[in-house]
Amino acid sequence: MPMSSDADSALEGRITISVDAMGGDNGPKAVVAGLAKSAEKNPEIGFILHGPEDQLAPLIAKRKLTDRCVIRDVQGVVAMGDKPAHVMRHGRDTSMWSTIESVRNGEAEVAVSCGNTGALMALSMVRLKKLEGVNRPAIACLWPSRNSHGFNVMLDVGADIRADQDDLLQFALMGVSYARNGLGLEQPRVGLLNVGTEEHKGRAELKVAHDMIGAAAPDGQFDFVGFVEGGDIPSDRVDVIVTDGFTGNVALKTGEGTATLIRDLLKEAFAYSPLSRIAALLSLTSMKRLQKRIDPRRVNGGVFLGLNGTVVKSHGSSDDTGVSAAIKLAFTLAKGRFTERLAARVASGQSLLQDIGTTEQDERLQQ
């Protein structure tokens, strides 16, 4: 699908993100509002937006994004309840498929979708394919933390529902790469999630993975802090938390649910009496500062790692702030990848992600 000359002029010199306009709970309006928010802050971004043109064109025009955004007209939509297997077989005419296709054919650096996670993962796997040497791709999320850079990385948070010791080692290596490229950490600290920090606790595969990750640390240029517990996820003991996709997904949603509960209770507490309402008014700035720090929408992008291309999964319930956060993450990764791809291409004629895959495999084989 070659770009039109219109598209060429709209996206020339920009870092292009491929965006799925459909499939989120709040519809294409919220997605386009997110694009507008990102575009306003960042003159380097361009978009390819996938979905029904008759719906998208007026939204894009209204947000004055016509010169930054190319619409790819696709009529089909993947619904939240659609089974991944069904989408893989029959989803060719959906905005999600088309969104991934733009990464596959090199039109865009990174894809962003708010749609059905299972379907997005399945389509990404089938169309982008696993990196050579990767057994189980993973979804990595950013978690607000006490670290000076403000976030920790956790993976897998839901690409798969299980992981054996080999997968956990790969998650550690992929998480380290992501922390290095996404957060700029030279020597990330990796922890393995378990129910106790004593080495005799926990599942058998975790004990094996513990030793494997520890052995890989010196060559992998990361520090292994050993087992960590749920309470350490937002701590400054660790930068990368490794776990299976079932546990990681439950932890992620539990953390979000807890934060939302506290935010609601805080509102109630401030609405309780006239004095507390005055206090609320005075503390507005403090509260906004806090909310910005812990707002799940601002750490909204889960990233699929281990594929020949990068896909950012935004929450189904994302509003403009959520979509904009996912776009920002996509941009950071696209920009880094682009730069490094250039460097890697000069060095070896291979794409950056293949380089990382090969490097990590080498590190692992060197053990």
Whole-number Å distance between alpha carbons of 141 and 183: 12
| Closest alpha carbon to 122 in 75, 155, 154, 160 | 160
Q: Which residue among 8, 253, 345, 347 contacts a copy of itself (CB under 8 A)?
A: 253
Quote the Cα angle for 100-105-106, to 5°. Answer: 95
Q: Give the residue with the Cβ less far from a copy of itself, 165 or 243.
A: 243
Which residues inside 174-193 make contact with a copy of itself, applying CB under 8 A?
193
Near a copy of itself by CB under 8 A, which window of 48-56, 155-163, 322-330, 355-363?
Answer: 155-163
Phi and psi for 142 in degrees, rounded to 5?
-100, 140
Q: Give the residue with the Cβ less far from a copy of itself, 41 or 162.
A: 162
Q: Which residue among 5, 200, 346, 365 contacts a copy of itself (CB under 8 A)?
A: 200
User: Is 34 in contact with 322 (CB distance < 8 Å)?
Assistant: yes
User: Is 119 in contact with 87 (CB distance < 8 Å)?
Assistant: yes
User: Is 177 in contact with 310 (CB distance < 8 Å)?
Assistant: no
Q: How far is the CB of 221 from a copy of itself (least distance, A)?
A: 27
Q: How far is the CB of 333 from a copy of itself (least distance, A)?
A: 25
Q: Which residue among 135, 187, 254, 367 contacts a copy of itself (CB under 8 A)?
A: 254
Give the pairing of strands 310-313 and 110-113. parallel
Q: How far is the CB of 296 from a copy of itself (least distance, A)?
A: 10
Q: Which residue among 8, 162, 348, 362 contacts a copy of itself (CB under 8 A)?
A: 162
Q: How far is the CB of 146 from a copy of itself (least distance, A)?
A: 7
Q: Which residue among 293, 339, 345, 347 contacts a copy of itself (CB under 8 A)?
A: 293
Query: How is residue 362 written in tokens?
Result: 């080498």
Which residues inside 36-65 make contact with a copy of itself, applying CB under 8 A?
none
User: Is 138 in contact with 159 (CB distance < 8 Å)?
Assistant: yes
Q: Give the residue with the Cβ less far from a copy of itself, 283 or 358.
A: 283
282: contact with a copy of itself by CB under 8 A: yes
Q: Give the residue with the Cβ less far from a copy of itself, 258 or 366.
A: 258
279: contact with a copy of itself by CB under 8 A: yes
| Closest alpha carbon to 354 in 334, 367, 332, 337 | 337
Q: How far is the CB of 358 from a copy of itself (least distance, A)?
A: 32
Residue 363's alpha-carbon distances to 32, 164, 173, 218, 306, in angstroms, are 42, 19, 9, 9, 16
Residue 303's alpha-carbon distances to 99, 159, 290, 310, 330, in angstroms, are 15, 10, 25, 7, 9
User: Can you give the binding site for a copy of itself, defined by CB under 8 A?
Assistant: 81, 83, 118, 144-146, 158, 161-162, 193, 195-196, 198, 200-203, 229-235, 243, 245-247, 249-262, 264-266, 269-270, 272-273, 275-276, 278-280, 282-283, 285-287, 289-290, 293-294
